Amino acid sequence: MKGSTVPTAYRRLGAGMAGLTLALTAACTGPDGADTSTAGAEAAGDEVKIAISPEDGTTKVRPNLPVTVTADGGTITDVTIEQSQNTEADAQNPADGEGTEAGEAEDGEDTPDVDEVTGTLNEDKTEWVSDWNLIPGSDITVTALAENEAGEETEVISEFSTLEAAPGQRLELQSNFPTSGQEVGVGMPVIVNFDMPVENKAQVENSMEVTSEETVEGAWNWFGDKMAVFRPKEYWQPNQDVSVDLHLAGTEASDGVYGVKNYRIDFRVSREQISTIENDEYTMVVERDGKQIKSFPISNGDGSTRAYTTTSGTHLLMEKYEHLVMDSSTVGVPVDSPDGYKLDVNYAVRFSNSGEFTHAAPWNNRLGQANLSHGCTNMSVADAKWYFENALMGDVLVINGTDRQLEVDNGWGYWQRSWDEWLEHSETGEADTTDGNGTPGDVHGEAV
């Protein structure tokens, strides 16, 4: 984990300390900006010598190279990085995803700035390395402060610019679940969809930081090259806020493809509501915060075909419709076939992508007695209405007793993987602790 060998108090340094500004020798190197700027070497004898990389005056620095500050003859007391994006480049890179863009909030209030580049100090405070990448096409100002044993301060400034992300090679956030401001159930994953394939999955994983009020272990899994999913080891603790900082800007998702925006997603985990259906008992039991509050007679799929067999396993509620037309052709059964159907239903709550919903079924007179549906969970109108009105996206629905298991990629079947299996499918192979102290590995590219 970034900063794992350093006390938390030293991990992120604040701004605003006054000091002596020293003149720097400007230089221009190649796109990697491998040289360093130095100042304060011998003039005062005991003065701290500070070196900053990339070097002052460098242009077209790869945005995924780390900013490094070292101090010789003293200790680092403050490092700040200011980024001023080229307005033309910014206009070419609109924020299309549903996460809140850096520094904005849906209610108009400011959020903590996800563009802030924090860094990690080594144990003796002589080296500082940036935690995150830089925004492509930006003018960067690095201000470093250090002091000698007598407490005398030295300040060094390095100014350089980063390489722009080329047209057609800009990674964007396409969509995310949940979105900022949503209230969700305790099983809710964080689902991030990108507009381009990601090859450097470990670096992108490490660029996405999840922070919760109640600290837990979690990890990312990939489903294809464009979708990443974060899930905690166990269900979220109820009644808490969760933030997701997507430090995508400057991260090299694939060869020459850079993220161009940072985003923040803020959502709230609500009460714990877990529903359990026993297929052979034709019953749904609803528990809230560990106590049973409802028991409903239901009717599941009749099991005559695989398509008409309700899936067993741990499901999550995905979306709901007060009114919905159900068409068997959407699950591969023609409407005009003997097993086809097209029905108008009310109070439908989706729990998979294979056409499974809870919904009102006033035509089914065997609720609590037999499984007669096409795979959905039939309920009375009153019961379906209650469940619809009390359902949150991410609520847990466990179904037991059928011979068809829910697939991990059928809807949000992510809890079908054990924690060990989930961790094995993470590109980093390490758990990510949601305490705000960084992610398991490095986000930077290698210097060439």
Report the catalytic residues: 359, 376
CA 326-329-330 angle, to 5 degrees, is 70
CA dihedral in degrees (15, 71, 445, 98; nearest 10)?
A: -10
DSSP track, 317-377: --EEEEEEEEEGGGGT--TTSTT--EEEEEEEEE--SSS-EEEE-TT-TTTTT---BSSSE
DSSP track, 108-124: S-----TT---EEE-TT
Q: Is the peptide bond before 54 cis (omega within 30 degrees of 0)?
A: yes
Q: Quote the CA–CA distance of 55 and 118 in Å, as a whole number.
A: 19
CA dihedral in degrees (435, 440, 444, 445; nearest 10)?
A: -170
Task: Name the strand (E) or helix (H) holding 70.
Answer: strand 68-72
Joined together, the tokens standing for residue 191 give 């689902």
Between the alpha carbon of residue 300 and those of residues 66, 283, 297, 361, 440, the distances in Å are 55, 9, 10, 11, 43
Q: Quote the CA–CA distance of 437 and 211 in Å, as a whole number.
A: 9
Three-state SS for 390?
A: coil
Q: Quote the CA–CA distance of 64 and 263 in Å, as a whole number.
A: 17
Other beta carbons less than 10 A from residue 339's beta carbon:
13
Q: How many residues does the chain have?
A: 448
